[in-house]
Structure 1
Amino acid sequence: MSHLQLIWLSSAIALLGTAMLTLTAVFGNLLTSHKNQKFQLARRQTFTYHRLISILGVVLILIHPIPLVFAQSTTGVSVASIFVPFLAEKKITIIAVGVIALYVLLVILISSLCMKYLKQKVWRVLHYGSYLFFGLGIWHGLSISDNFEPNAEVNLLDPKKILLEVEIIILLLLLMWRVMLYRNQRKSM
């Protein structure tokens, strides 16, 4: 594969991963809805889908830098720079933002897998890290270009960027819905 194909593959894997995690956010918000909680069967199915899709999304996010390592002479991404912020040779800051987002995502995943062993409030605070992950991850995705040259321009009308922009809209709508649910719950108490 050429370096351009490897960069494209990395982007495609990341976009699929973020799309799955956005879908997970939708399922997560359905789980918090009192209307959905009245239907226990639907709640169990929603939780199952939420967990499976989130694990798959995390795996895709975890593997998306691997093709970039195979194109290291073009991308400046080494194995070490995938795990240690600010070690990349090119796009240092924006790749570091992606690494930090990855660590936030891993904390969320581990806390969710260990949910039975954590206090509900601790788990909830850790799970709210999802907002931090999406913020950092989408910043990373929107700010990086397929051209790893210094000062390469980012085209926000590129189809890959538009997909991320749609995810931002979905996530903001979910956040607004979540805030409205919270306010309604507070009023009814």
Structure 2
Amino acid sequence: MKNKKLGISLIVIVIAVYSIITTLFFITEIPTSYYDYFIRLAVLLGFTSLFVAVIQTAFIKELYQIYGKPFLTIHHIFAVLGLILITAHPVAFALKISKWSVFLVDISSWESFWNLAGRPALYMFYIAAIIVLFRKRLSQKIWRVIHALNYVALTFAYIHGVLIGTDFENLAILIIFTAMIIISYEVLIYKRYQKYKRKKKREEKSS
């Protein structure tokens, strides 16, 4: 019963986050066309989906105990949806301006690189997603490095949004996405600390 209530609560929280972000988006600067609506909203919801997927990965064991096998399907839905939406953002923009150079990482200057940090972030997400398909063949150490790539990608995407994102001019949206980044790294540090404690405990028992 406790797991069931917790499971429902987590679902409600995720739905609430999506709803709040969507609502805030529509009260920010009005896009000039429905096409612009799609370009901007896609990346906001895509980032959110990938954030949820990354957090889920850190708590796979705990979430599996709550949801059972359906959790894996839910996790894959968030990951795939996130990839589709963050890909739709540059694709739609490229079609709008008729320039596919939007997919090229800009290293012409330090400022340009970080303004357009969403470009390398996109490739990082895809590299991590593709390598996950071969997870069973990877050592735990390599898997941790690949998983950490998602955190770097989230950070790059966040910086891109802060520097040139129209919607990040809305303070509430900026706060929410900043909170996502902070939570991501808190989770990463927490899980690494847990692992360190377990390792230390095993060493104490063996000595």
Output the TM-score relative to the length of structure 2: 0.68
Cα distance change on mapping 1:12 and 1:37 into 2, 3 Å: closer
Aligned-residue RMSD, C-alpha: 3.1
Contact 1:16 1:57 in 2 (8 A): yes
What is the alpha-carbon distance in structure 1 between the residues aligned to residue 115 and residue 87 of structure 2? Answer: 13
How far is the alpha carbon of 1:42 from its aligned partner?
4.2
Provide the residue aligned with 1:21 in structure 2. 50
Match for residue 169 of structure 2 among 144, 155, 174: 155
Please say if 1:178 is aligned against 2:199: no
How far apart in 2 are the matches of 1:78 and 1:3? 20
Matched letter for residue 186 of structure 1: K
Q: Aligned partners of 1:174 and 1:117: how far apart in 2?
A: 25
Q: Equivalent of 2:100, from 79, 96, 99?
A: 79
Query: Partner letter of residue 180 of structure 2?
Result: E
- How big is each residue's C-alpha offset from its partner over 1:127-157, in whole Å with a ceiling of 9 and x where there is no partner? 221121111111112111339xxxxxx7361
SS, match of residue 65 in structure 1: helix
The equivalent of 1:50 in structure 2 is 75
Structure 1 residue 38 displacement after superposition: 8.8
Q: Which has the larger helix fraction?
A: 2
Deviates more, 1:44-53 or 1:55-64: 44-53
SS in 2 for 1:69: helix
Aligned to 1:166: 179
Partner of 1:150: none
Asked if structure 2 preserves the Cα contact closer than 8 Å seen for 1:14 and 1:61, the reply is yes
Alpha-carbon separation, structure 1, partners of 2:136 and 2:87: 24
Match among 91, 97, 109 for residue 117 of structure 2: 97
**1:133 aligned partner:** 153
Q: How many residues matched?
A: 170
What TM-score do the two structures reach when normalised by structure 1? 0.73
Rate the CA distance shift 1:37–1:95 in 2: closer, same or farther, 3 A: closer
- Aligned identity (percent) is 22
| Runs of 4+ off more than 4 Å | 2-5
Per the TM alignment, residue 60 of structure 1 is displaced from its structure 2 partner at its CA by 1.0
